[in-house]
Amino acid sequence: MIFGLLKQRRWRQLQAQPFPRDWLVTIERNVPFFRRLSASDQAELLGHIRVFLAEKRFEGCGGLELTDEIRVTIAAQACLLLLHRKTDYFPNLLTILVYPSTYLVDEKRPLEGPVWEEGTMHRLGETGRSLGSMVLAWDAAKSGAADSSDGQNLVLHEFAHQLDYENGAADGAPAFASRQQQSAWGGVMRTEFASLRAADDTGIPTLLDTYGATNPAEFFAVSTEAFFERPYALRGHHPRLYAELQRYFLQDPVEYSDERMKG
């Protein structure tokens, strides 16, 4: 209890500090959605960024030299997911590893029965529930912020996974305030996930990235990308999914989306 109060006081102190001018310039240049937020949302976001950057450790990998531009650009996107909600700032995440671009990992993949395939995979990002770390490719993180209406955003995707982990499982269902909200979420998500899997199997074009058909966790991450980057289209094609995401995030991205201007 005492630790929680001390933590909350520290966060309030960080949020009250003047926001560095060079950080704000970076956000205005690299993160276009920031300029479309209301003044109150901008102020809240900047406060979250201060806490986030004080709480999380960044490490450069693959020869990347970390800069404030990298840290601030990633933090601004991640903290968009925290607006209007009571938050513990992605408590399972301690370290963010940043590569300059696509990186390689060795992994085993199941094929059939006891048969596994070993190989080297190119990746842009990943995060785990138990390791306390996230890996991001900087060029993908930066380009995802630059185009805020293409439905693809690496940072939003990976941090949606972190929200998913807050209930103790990677199941596509983050922590909810009530059982009623959890039940409503589950019903809609199961239906929408099944529809995406069916579309993926038959080759029907979809608004949502079919990578979301992999499992419920990836479906939540892909849906989060679409919710913030293609809200008009998601609301029109998947109104029940949009409504559930709106209730969880306590936001309506239609209010600050530039999707309409791009047609």
Full DSSP string of 52-86: HHHH-EEEE-TTPPP-HHHHHHHHHHHHHTTTTS-
Residue 263, pLDDT score: 47
> Can you identify the CATH homologous superfamily of domain 1-166?
Glucose-regulated metallo-peptidase M90, N-terminal domain (1.10.472.150)
d(CA 14, CA 54): 8
Q: Taking the CB of residue 19, how many other CB atoms lie within 10 A of it? A: 16
Max mean pLDDT among 12-16, 117-121, 215-219 falls in 215-219
Q: Looking at the predicted structure, is the pLDDT value of residue 109 above 70?
A: no
CA-angle at 179, arms to 178 and 182, nearest 5°: 95
DSSP structure class, residue 20: P
pLDDT at 217: 96
Domain boundary assignment for the chain: 1-166, 167-263
* 115: confidence class by pLDDT, cuts 50, 70, 90: low
Residue 195: burial class (beta carbons within 10 Å; 0-12, 13-18, 19+): middle
Q: What is the pLDDT of the chain when averaged over all its residues?
A: 91
Mean pLDDT (whole number) for 142-155: 93
Homologous superfamily in CATH for domain 167-263: Collagenase (Catalytic Domain) (3.40.390.10)
Say if 1-166 and 167-263 have the same CATH topology. no
Give percent of the chain above pLDDT 90.
Answer: 79
**Residue-level pLDDT at 121:** 76
Which amino acid belongs to residue 96? I
Query: Which pLDDT does position 110 carry in this prediction?
Result: 53
- If we measure between CA atoms, which residue out of 145, 159, 15 comes closest to residue 78? 159
Q: What is the average pLDDT across 71-87? A: 97
